[in-house]
Structure 1
Amino acid sequence: MRFLGIDLGTGSLKLAIVDGDGRETAASSAAYAVTSAQPGWAETTVDAWYSALVSAASRLPANEREAVCAIGFSGQMHGVVPAAADGRALRAAMLWPDTRARDLLDAWPGPQSNPVAPGMAGPLLRWLALNEPQTAAATRWALQPKDWLRAKLGGTFVTDASDACATALALPSGDWDDALIDKLALPRAWFAPLAASHESGGMLSAEAAAELGLRAGIPMAVGAGDTPCAALGSGLASDGDALLTTGTGGQIVVMCARAPAPAHGLHTYRAATGAWYRMAAMQNVGVALEAVRGWLGHASWPEAYDDAFTADASASVSFLPYLSGERSPWMNPNARGGWLGLGLDDTRGTMMRAAFEGVAFASRAGLDAIRANGAALDSMLLAGGGSVDPRWRQLLADALRVELHAVDCPNAATRGAALLGGIAAGHWRMGDLVSLAPTATLAATPRANPSLDERLARFIDLYRRAEDWFAVKRESA
């Protein structure tokens, strides 16, 4: 008995198969590009997603695929796929790093229980209605990425509260905010009905089964957003449990038994289990480091790590990683990045080291916002493909001042999706998941580092000083 998890991420699609005890038995992935046809846009075609799914599935062992009896879904949050009545995408998906709708945010009444960012489905759909009226007129469904993929595989048009509440079009509970949708002049019929993440969202079609090497007719769980799936797959269950994920973006998630009060720069969303979580969401983690690695000409990530962590940290060089604006804690889509303080004696390694520190400091700013609102965190689980190097883990622990415990689960979001598939198939109940939590080992203990603290203070001061400049440049653009 096997369960397949599909994680439709921003830059790649990942698959993981788990057995009846929740242990991963096979995994694969396939990458695709995020394109930007115009400055500030972030898109991927759904054909690229589906091709990646077929490619990744073909690399899973045939005997493992034949044993799969249910599928669960995890997906990048906030973006949207305008689709026809049959689920056919009408344009490329618009994704969470997209900033084209940044001038439309004043349509949202304040204060909101969650911050509204331009890359959320609500602002993107408002932009679509104003700028692509023909596409808007043909749209029947405004689907979250994982919901589009499930429908493509033969599933129903449905979504879950964890994704809905992150669209800027729903109440904190995840229920659609009909009054707000009407105020924004968006068709209420665009938005799929809600179901629990672990409920069945349809059966795998014969056509899709043949392309993926799976059995037709197996149930597909509705699924959840990638952050709540990563929390589920990592074993977060109790009030106060915390997780740091480092991927294209970065998230600090703290589980909550009850909905916490709104706080500027922080998000409060529904978990895949129906509980709540508070989150600091940083846009510029892996995406910023990957850009810097390319600019500096590092041929591989090991080379970039070695170059950065053999270099001495500069007392004068700072790097703001805000290449696509920023969410937590600043909520500033106009923020931009770069190095300051470079001298003729600085090297490629100095610049790469400053980039790692800048990302760590940006994450610390998000964590400080959580701490300021009542969560005194000194220990967190650690997951995500962007945190495998021990030197990077240590820098994160030092900058965040937390003890980091690496989850023994290389594909946390994908595993969480597979577990939802197992519940949909009736193999587990929601209460069984605590006993299936993966082991976690100590990855890094924070060390006292006064010079790092000084560089953190300089980083925060630099951002504050640049904030006014970002606003002036935006007004003159």
Structure 2
Amino acid sequence: MRFLGIDLGTASLKLAIVDEDGHERAFASVAYAVTTPFPGWAETPVESWWNALRDAAARLPAREREQVNAIGFSGQMHGVVVTDENNHALRPAMLWPDTRALDLLDAWPAPQPNPVAPGMAGPLLRWLAVNEPAVMNKTRWALQPKDWLRTALGGEVCTDPSDACATALAAPSGVWDDALIAEIGLRREWFAPLAPSYAAAGTLNAEGAKLLGLRAGIALAVGAGDTACAALGSGLFADGDALLTTGSGGQIVVVSADAPASVAGLHAYRAATDQWYRMAAMQNVGVALEAVRGWLGYTDWPSAYEDAFSAPASTHLTFLPYVSGERSPWMNPAARGGWLGLGLGDTRATMMRAAFEGVAFALRAGLDAIRLNSGPSAVVRTLRLAGGGSIDSRWRQLLADALDADLQAVDCPNAATRGAAMLGGIALGSWHAADLAVLAPSATLVASPGDDEDLALRHTRFIDLYQRNASWF
């Protein structure tokens, strides 16, 4: 018996087939572009997702696909797809890095149960209501990305608490806030009914079966947001378990048995199972490093890593990585990045090294907010590590030093995709909550923090420079 996990990410779609023991048997990935037709916009046509799903499925072995009995879904959080009654997208999907709704956040005055960012579904839909009323007049559903994909494959129209609570239109539990939805001029009927992430939500239709090379009629699980799926796939199930994911953005997740208290700059969301998690969400990890790599003219990542980590760390050069604003802990969408302290003696190697350090310090700012504002279970001296942007051993060591925490690489390279597949297995009844601890992947210690006083001084300078320059943004 096999289970297929589909992870609909910001820049790529990933598929993994997992067996009944929770082991990955096959994996495929296809990338696509995020388009920016105007400054601050971030969109992807849903056709790009559909084509990527087709192409990725074709790369999976037919003998593995033949044994798939259920599908689970993971998806990039916060964005929105508006569709008509036939599930046809009325415009390109709007994504979490989008900042066009920055001036429309007044409907969410502080304090909020969760921090509100312009790329969340609530502000984006408010922007559409003001700027594209013709589209909204045709709208039947406002769906999160993974929910659109599941529905296109034959699934029921629904969403789960982990995605709903990240729209800025629902309580942390995921229950829609009817009063807020009405207050900002949106229609309650646009929003899908809630169901548990692990619930069955329809079956694969004939078109989806042909596209994926699977049997029609197999079960579809509701699915969850990618962070919740990554936590599940990485084996987080006990109170205080923590995970660092690095991709386009970065997330630090700490599992909690009870609902965490509201804290400015931090998120408290429902997990894919019936737990909660506290999260610091940093917007600039891979996004910032990829931009720097291009600006400095590195044609590939190996050369960028080699240059950066062969160069001595600069005592005077600091990089603020906030090229697309920032969420945790600053909640400052107007924040901007750049090098400070640049001198004639600096090279692109020292600039690349400073970029890695700046991203590590930005992650540390989010982790420190969790440590400061959570209970004893969130001391966080060990982090499980997931995400394609954290493979190089030198980068891992820098992260461990900057975060002052042990890093344990999860022996599962595609945690969110695996978590999605597990939701499919639970929906089918093949697994239950009591099985999660047994199914947890092993993890290997890959880096421990050293006593680097110079790095600590550079971290202090980083925080000071951000705070000094925040008023300029």
Aligned twin of 1:458: 461
Aligned twin of 1:46: 46
Unmatched 5+ stretches in structure 1:
471-477
Aligned twin of 1:403: 406
Q: Aligned-pair distance for 1:109?
A: 3.7
Aligned twin of 2:135: 135
TM (norm. structure 2) is: 0.99
Aligned twin of 1:318: 318
Q: Does 2:422 match 1:419?
A: yes
Query: Amino acid of the residue matched to residue 228 of structure 1?
Result: A
Query: Amino acid of the residue matched to residue 101 of structure 2?
Result: A
Matches within 5 A, 1:330-345: 330-345=330-345
In structure 1, distance between residues paired with 2:40 and 2:190: 25
Query: Amino acid of the residue matched to residue 307 of structure 2?
Result: D
Q: Aligned-pair distance for 1:311?
A: 0.8
In structure 2, distance between residues paired with 1:271 and 1:8: 18
In structure 1, distance between residues paired with 2:125 and 2:137: 12
In structure 2, distance between residues paired with 1:287 and 1:8: 17
Q: Aligned-pair distance for 1:324?
A: 0.6
In structure 2, distance between residues paired with 1:99 and 1:217: 40
Runs of 4 or more above 6 Å deviation: none
Q: Aligned-pair distance for 1:131?
A: 0.5
Structure 2 residue matching 1:73: 3-state secondary structure: strand
Q: Aligned-pair distance for 1:207?
A: 1.2
RMSD (Å), alpha carbons = 0.7
In structure 2, distance between residues paired with 1:361 and 1:32: 29
CA deviations over 1:368-419 (Å, ceiling 9, x no partner): 1001113211111111101010000000000000011110010000000000
In structure 2, distance between residues paired with 1:192 and 1:211: 25
In structure 2, distance between residues paired with 1:315 and 1:69: 56
In structure 1, distance between residues paired with 2:252 and 2:289: 18
Aligned twin of 2:90: 90
In structure 2, distance between residues paired with 1:100 and 1:123: 9
Q: Does 2:283 match 1:280?
A: no
Q: Aligned-pair distance for 1:218?
A: 0.4
CA deviations over 1:238-272 (Å, ceiling 9, x no partner): 11000000011000000011011111100000000
In structure 2, distance between residues paired with 1:155 and 1:8: 16
Aligned twin of 1:152: 152
Aligned twin of 1:430: 433
Query: Amino acid of the residue matched to residue 383 of structure 1?
Result: A
Aligned twin of 1:268: 268
CA deviations over 1:441-468 (Å, ceiling 9, x no partner): 1010000111101111111111111111
Structure 2 residue matching 1:404: 3-state secondary structure: strand
CA deviations over 1:171-204 (Å, ceiling 9, x no partner): 1111001111111110000000000001111111
% same residue: 72
Indicate if the aligned counterparts of 2:111 and 2:264 stay in contact, CA closer than 8 A. Answer: no
Q: Aligned-pair distance for 1:326?
A: 0.3
Query: Amino acid of the residue matched to residue 455 of structure 2?
Result: L
In structure 1, distance between residues paired with 2:89 and 2:452: 51
CA deviations over 1:291-349 (Å, ceiling 9, x no partner): 11111121111111111101111111111110110000000000010111111221111
Matches within 5 A, 1:176-325: 176-325=176-325
Aligned twin of 1:468: 471
In structure 2, distance between residues paired with 1:396 and 1:292: 18
In structure 1, distance between residues paired with 2:49 and 2:303: 29
In structure 2, distance between residues paired with 1:64 and 1:93: 31
Indicate if the aligned counterparts of 2:284 and 2:323 stay in contact, CA closer than 8 A. Answer: yes
In structure 2, distance between residues paired with 1:84 and 1:50: 17
Count, aligned residues: 470
Query: Amino acid of the residue matched to residue 344 of structure 2?
Result: L
Aligned twin of 1:364: 364
Query: Amino acid of the residue matched to residue 38 of structure 1?
Result: F
Structure 2 residue matching 1:385: 3-state secondary structure: coil
In structure 1, distance between residues paired with 2:44 and 2:449: 38
Q: Aligned-pair distance for 1:430?
A: 2.0
In structure 2, distance between residues paired with 1:385 and 1:364: 19
Structure 1 residue matching 2:149: 3-state secondary structure: helix
Q: Does 2:83 match 1:80?
A: no
Structure 1 residue matching 2:412: 3-state secondary structure: coil
Q: Aligned-pair distance for 1:108?
A: 1.4
In structure 2, distance between residues paired with 1:158 and 1:424: 15
In structure 2, distance between residues paired with 1:366 and 1:35: 28
Aligned twin of 1:103: 103
Matches within 5 A, 1:119-134: 119-134=119-134
Q: Aligned-pair distance for 1:110?
A: 3.0
TM (norm. structure 1) is: 0.98
Q: Aligned-pair distance for 1:281?
A: 0.1
In structure 1, distance between residues paired with 2:128 and 2:20: 44
Q: Does 2:447 match 1:444?
A: yes
In structure 1, distance between residues paired with 2:110 and 2:367: 24
Aligned twin of 1:28: 28
